[in-house]
Structure 1
């Protein structure tokens, strides 16, 4: 993990202190990060910071994503199969990426990919010349392990950390964008998530996310049982507005929803 990202982290325990390595280094591969305020300590291994406070609350689908063989086959087989099940057909990855990229614009600060999985979108962003620093957050150790391997193979630089949304372990107003590519429906507490997005974004920073439209009531019950929480545009727009985000936009490719909202800046208030 690069020093430029380490210095932006916030202790997930006390939610005040800035995390610090034992010794300064341009790139932190091993060794703990410590909070000077509450003295909590978090391990770093292979450059991945583990900021989990307790074992992940994994539901049915999430438990499957913790398996190494699933992580290794995620991009080729598992992700297309999930999209086929939820969207009725897998989406072309190039087209999907171009939508996210156009909505992100030119971020004025690091970009955090929440629910990054194996880093499919994050590493592509990181390979763009002149693009901002990219970090990926996920709760699955197996997915992050595969993400590190994929990033190295692609010759990209992505800083990975293990943490569980809705909480985002970054200091206030430090990020240029928060991306949730195909992962918004994994977060149960939408209100808390949007408040966290609002908190960590710099003025003018963007939130870009995708999810799928809620199914009927009978199917919706089964989706919730496996840990999925799809919402419609009206609910998502209201949650973004309640948190203080503005300029809500959506691209509807039924049943896929791709969303964008911004943190107000001097320009947006004019």
Structure 2
């Protein structure tokens, strides 16, 4: 992980102190990160910082994504299969990426891809000329291991970290954008997540995410049992406003929709 991004991290245990590596090297591959406030220590291995303090329970779909063999086949087989099951007619990869990219705009600071999986979108962002640094965050060690390998093979510089949403282990107003491509349905506590997004974004920073509309009663119950939490547009819009984010927009691709909201300044009307 690059030292420049390490300086933006915040201790996930005390949620106050910065995290310092033992070495001042520009890239930290191994060794602990230490918090001067609570003296907690967090490991770094193969450049991936592990900032999970207390693992939370996960649904069946998330547990499946933590399997090494699933991670290795994720981009080619698993992700397309999930998209077909949930969206029925998903966008092709290029159209999906261009939609996310247009909604992100020109971020004024590092971009965090929450639930990055193997870093499919993060790699493409990182390879764009003059794009800010990109960090990929996921809770699955298998996905992150595959993400590191894929990024190296593609020649893309992505800083990966292991952390469990809704908490985002970054300092206040440190990020230019937060992206959640296909991962919003995995978040149960949306209100807390959006408060975290509002906290870590710089003024004018954007949150871009995709989800799908809740299915009927019977299928909806099955989705919840699998650990998925789809939301209707009205409910999502209300949660966004409650977190203090502004300029809500959505692109509808029924049953999927992609949303964007911003962190306003004190003068920005809602």
Q: Same fold (TM over 0.5)?
A: yes
Whether contact under 8 Å (1:56, 1:139) holds in the other structure is no
Shift of 1:53: 0.6
Shift of 1:250: 0.1
1:64-107: CA deviation from partner (whole Å, max 9, x where unpaired)? 11111100000000000000100113320100000000000000
Alpha-carbon distance in 2 for matches of 1:267, 1:131 = 27
Where in structure 1 are there 5+ consecutive unaligned residues? none
Alpha-carbon distance in 1 for matches of 2:8, 2:50 = 15
Whether contact under 8 Å (1:202, 1:263) holds in the other structure is yes
Alpha-carbon distance in 2 for matches of 1:212, 1:183 = 10
Q: Corresponding residue for 1:178?
A: 178
Shift of 1:269: 4.5
Where in structure 2 are there 5+ consecutive unaligned residues? none
After the TM superposition, which of the residue ranges 85-94 and 198-207 deviates more from structure 2?
85-94
- Asked whether 1:110 is paired with 2:110, we answer yes
Q: Corresponding residue for 1:101?
A: 101
Aligned length: 270
Alpha-carbon distance in 2 for matches of 1:132, 1:269 = 27
Runs of 4+ in structure 1 off by over 4 angstroms are none
Shift of 1:268: 3.4
After the TM superposition, which of the residue ranges 85-94 and 125-134 deviates more from structure 2?
85-94
- Asked whether 1:211 is paired with 2:211, we answer yes
1:112 aligned counterpart, secondary structure: strand
- Asked whether 1:30 is paired with 2:34, we answer no
1:144-199: CA deviation from partner (whole Å, max 9, x where unpaired)? 00000000000000000000000000000000000000100000000000000000
Alpha-carbon distance in 2 for matches of 1:120, 1:249 = 24
Q: Corresponding residue for 1:158?
A: 158
Whether contact under 8 Å (2:55, 2:164) holds in the other structure is no
Alpha-carbon distance in 2 for matches of 1:220, 1:41 = 41
Q: Corresponding residue for 1:225?
A: 225
1:268 aligned counterpart, secondary structure: coil
Alpha-carbon distance in 2 for matches of 1:256, 1:72 = 26
1:84 aligned counterpart, secondary structure: helix
Shift of 1:63: 1.0
After the TM superposition, which of the residue ranges 258-267 and 236-245 deviates more from structure 2?
258-267
After the TM superposition, which of the residue ranges 81-90 and 54-63 deviates more from structure 2?
54-63
Shift of 1:22: 1.1
1:178-224: CA deviation from partner (whole Å, max 9, x where unpaired)? 00001000000000000000000000000000011110111111001
Alpha-carbon distance in 2 for matches of 1:249, 1:221 = 28
Alpha-carbon distance in 2 for matches of 1:17, 1:59 = 31
After superposition, residues 59-78 of structure 1 pair within 5 angstroms as 59-78=59-78
Alpha-carbon distance in 2 for matches of 1:56, 1:197 = 20
